[in-house]
Amino acid sequence: MGFSFKSETFQELTEYALKKAKSLGATDCAVDISEAVGQSVSVRMGKIETIEHTRDKNISLSVYVRNKRGNASSSDFSLSAIDSAVHAALDIAKYTAADKFAGLPDVASLAKRHRDLDLYHPWNLSVAKAVEKGLAMEQAAFDVSKHIRNSEGASVSTESGHFFAANSKGFRGGYFYSDHSLGVSVIAQAKKSKDSPMQRDYWNSSDRNAKNLAKPAKIGAYAAQRALARLGSRQITTGNYPVIFEAPVASSLIRHYVQAVSGVPQYRKTSFLLNSLGKQVWAPHITIKEDPFIPGAQASSPFDEEGVKVKARTVVKKGVCNGYFLSSYSARKLGLETTGNAGGTHNIILSSSKTVQGGLDALLKTMGTGLLVTEMMGQGVNEVTGDYSRGAFGYWVENGIIVHPVEEITIAGNLKDMLGNIVAVGDDAYWRDGKYVGSILLESMTVAGN
């Protein structure tokens, strides 16, 4: 699966589009051109389910006529198609309301040097090999126990791409990237009868470099162990209990926080953490850093979607909000400077001066008695008020030991209290969705059971 276009061709086409837009009256213009190729294979119960090949290409333009903006895109890279896209964007700009905050980033904020972050590791994986890996994951799960009786399937996917972006203020930049993943979901059932309760769980591994992926057999075996551990689950009595968010789930707390201190909710005044800059938001032992420059990491980038330079920074220091996540537009609306976060965050890392050494088992002992949450269901989070109520699955813990699995419960609280009342963090940190965090112990939440 090779690329159809060279990076030099992308550079030539972006220059052509910029000149065309300027010649037709655009005050400013930004162009992004990209191509991606991918393959995805899924298997279930020992048989191939799907084989999918993808090849996508796109050129997108944003033109400005003073403070009016128009956007257009095309999957056709011919010069005539680019001309049409430029005309369309300019036509849209004519009918767009003027916005004094609109426009390209300031020249001083644009990235000029682009370091190589080791983001491109293409995986020359044949369909046959992909099927083999998928079957190996699933079989490894079945081999763990006779109680793994069914499967939701295993998937193997690989994608590689490249892009080039440019704007009329002088930014030029692009790079090649790759992303690969393996995953499997299986179903455990104690007895082979239609009335016997079933439980499912999954595990996956993803990386820009296929050499760093977990072995298929290990992924399958761990998915099976997680599914088996859920058998015999029941409700618990409603009450207020200490709660641990397992590391993969704990990253959701960071996601809610990032959303709350991002530009749009801040300037719209729809955030439960409105005007929180410089204020105590997290427990005092929590520090959160953003580092765009980790080689090979999935959220690394030398610049943001606008071509703004990014930087490593401490966004939460000893629990205090030290910085928002802003694009050029939201920064102007707030009277602040862009933080290089147009398009999202770059490798968020949570650490604590109260980190408990010894993995999840040690954090369970620190909690003593309470609830370990390993999966969340539903979308019951109010980003305006911070009210939090979600369905959950987990394990009841007594004296630091897991007693039994728990289902059909709801955990509730308010995100302000949850972030502020973190007791400790485990040393079992885990990368998920560009966030690196260990399991988190919360002082107390309301748990609704029976």
- Please say if the pLDDT value at position 194 is more than 80: no
Q: Which amino acid is at 61?
A: L
Each residue of 141-157: pLDDT tens digit?
Answer: 999 999 999 999 999 99
Q: Which residues lie below 8 Å from residue 135, measured CB to CB, with a gap of 6+? A: 43, 46, 154
Instruction: Please check whether residues 277 and 426 belong to one and the same domain.
Output: yes
Q: What is residue 118's predicted lDDT score, i.e. its pLDDT?
A: 96
- By residue range, what is the domain housing residue 105? 7-38+52-109
DSSP assignments along 48-64, one per residue: EEEEEEEEEEEEEEEEE
- Please say if the pLDDT value at position 393 is more than 80: yes
Domain end (from 88, 109, 130)? 109
User: Quick check: is 154 in a domain?
Assistant: no
Q: What is residue 432's predicted lDDT score, i.e. its pLDDT?
A: 87
Predicted TM-score (pTM) of the model is 0.93
DSSP 429: -
CA-angle at 74, arms to 72 and 79, nearest 5°: 105
Strand partners of residue 370: 397
Instruction: Please check whether residues 105 and 248 belong to one and the same domain.
Output: no
Domain end (from 109, 125, 155)? 109
Q: Where in 291-420 does DSSP place strands (E)?
A: 313-317, 320-321, 348-352, 355-356, 370-377, 387-398, 401-414
> Residue 318: is it exposed, middle or buried by C-beta count within 10 angstroms (0-12/13-18/19+)?
middle
Each residue of 19-71: pLDDT tens digit?
Answer: 999 999 999 999 999 999 999 999 999 999 999 999 999 999 999 999 999 99
What does pLDDT average to over the chain?
Answer: 95
User: Quick check: is 257 in a domain?
Assistant: yes
Q: What is residue 70's predicted lDDT score, i.e. its pLDDT?
A: 96
Q: What is residue 430's predicted lDDT score, i.e. its pLDDT?
A: 87
Report the Cα 268 to chain-centroid distance in Å: 24
- Please say if the pLDDT value at position 180 is more than 70: yes
Each residue of 297-330: pLDDT tens digit?
Answer: 999 999 999 999 999 999 999 999 999 999 999 9
For the segment 275-291, the average pLDDT, to the nearest whole number, is: 97
User: Quick check: is 266 in a domain?
Assistant: yes
- Please say if the pLDDT value at position 380 is more than 90: no
- Please say if the pLDDT value at position 13 is more than 90: yes
- Please say if the pLDDT value at position 213 is more than 90: yes
Q: What is residue 438's predicted lDDT score, i.e. its pLDDT?
A: 96
pLDDT band at 1 (very low <50, low <70, confident <90, very high): low
Q: What is the percentage of the chain residues whose pLDDT exceeds 90?
A: 94
Is beta strand 370-377 parallel, antiparallel or unpaired with respect to 239-245? parallel
User: Quick check: is 148 in a domain?
Assistant: no
Each residue of 70-102: pLDDT tens digit?
Answer: 999 999 999 999 999 999 999 999 999 999 999
User: Quick check: is 223 in a domain?
Assistant: no
User: Quick check: is 214 in a domain?
Assistant: no
198-207: strand order across its sheet: 68-74, 47-65, 28-44, 148-167, 172-189, 198-207
Residue 312 tokens read as: 């490593």
Q: Which residue has the higher pLDDT, 433 or 137?
A: 137
Domain end (from 93, 109, 125)? 109
**Host H or E run for residue 197:** none
286-290: strand order across its sheet: 320-321, 313-317, 286-290, 348-352, 435-437, 430-432
Q: What is residue 151's predicted lDDT score, i.e. its pLDDT?
A: 95
pLDDT band at 379 (very low <50, low <70, confident <90, very high): confident
- Please say if the pLDDT value at position 193 is more than 90: no
CA gap 422, 418 in Å, rounded: 7
User: Quick check: is 23 in a domain?
Assistant: yes
User: Quick check: is 438 in a domain?
Assistant: yes
pLDDT band at 197 (very low <50, low <70, confident <90, very high): confident
Each residue of 235-245: pLDDT tens digit?
Answer: 999 999 999 99
Q: Could you give the number of structural domains in the chain?
A: 2
- For residue 97, give the CATH number of its domain: 3.30.2290.10
